[in-house]
Amino acid sequence: MVDGQLRPNRITEPRLLTVMGALPREDFLPPGLLARAYVDEDVRLPGGRALMEPMIIARLIQLLALRPGDRVLVAGAGTGYAAAILAGLGGRVTAVEADAGLLAIARPALAAHTAPGAVTLVEAPPAGGHPAAAPFDAILIEGAIPALPDALVAQLAEGGRLAAILAGGAPRTRAVLGRRVGAGFGTVDAFDCATLPLPGFATRPSFVF
């Protein structure tokens, strides 16, 4: 996966390559899908969700330029794979997920592959984030959404970064990187990509310009 999918697709952060090379992706899938753990496409999960393909999740995480000790929010954490990667990079991760079935996979996988206390799982709608743990230095939205919700942007710290995939109101689906500077927030397009929609996000435009 590292040599065949990540390095050829502009994943250059050495720590990220090391963490993803050591983390068993199959442990974050239901038993019937283990054979698809390392395919270079999304792995569809029960409930219409997906484990995002390795290259896309790696590029999104690389955009966040994570520093050890950063407070990180994962919105729509699914089975916990991205949360585990972010914890491996030294992040203090809050992972928000509403699907009880996916959380049942995430709990043992994260317990096995992250340090105690490195990831806090929260069962809640991902579009609301987790204000009790804010502000966050980095936010990852794990799935395609139509627009960035105010509630998540408001939980960014000064200088905080947000990586997401936007699929609404544009001719193409693209990853974006957002950053809070003072009272302002702006986004830039990062790369074209596609993944399944993340349920529970409104279509109202917000903070995208």
- Domain-wise residue ranges, the chain: 2-192
Say how many CA atoms lie within 13 Å of 132 toward its Cβ.
7
Tell me if the domain spanning 2-192 has CATH number 3.30.70.1450: no
Query: Among candidates 152, 157, 107, which has minimal Cα distance to 130?
Result: 152
Residue 207, pLDDT > 70, answer: no
- Determine the Cα–Cα distance for residues 140 and 199; give it in Å rounded to an integer: 15
Q: CA 21, 139, 96, 167 torsion: positive or negative?
A: negative
> What is the residue whose two structure tokens read 């054979």?
35
Say how many CA atoms lie within 13 Å of 55 toward its Cβ.
16
Question: How big is the chain by its Cα radius of gyration, in Å?
Answer: 15
Predicted local confidence at residue 208, as pLDDT: 47
- Determine the Cα–Cα distance for residues 177 and 63; give it in Å rounded to an integer: 7
- Determine the Cα–Cα distance for residues 43 and 16; give it in Å rounded to an integer: 21
DSSP 10: T
Tens digit of each residue's pLDDT (9 = 90 or more) over 87-136: 999 999 999 999 999 999 999 999 999 999 999 999 999 999 999 999 99
Average pLDDT, the chain: 93
What would the mean pLDDT of 22-36 be, rounded to a whole number?
96
CA distances (Å), origin 10, targets 38, 179, 190: 18, 21, 12
Tens digit of each residue's pLDDT (9 = 90 or more) over 64-92: 999 999 999 999 999 999 999 999 999 99
Give the tokens for residue 141: 């939205």
Complete edge-to-edge strand list for the sheet that includes strand 92-97: 119-123, 92-97, 71-75, 136-145, 156-166, 174-181, 184-192
Query: How many residues are present in the chain?
Result: 209
Query: Among candidates 76, 130, 81, which has minimal Cα distance to 98?
Result: 76
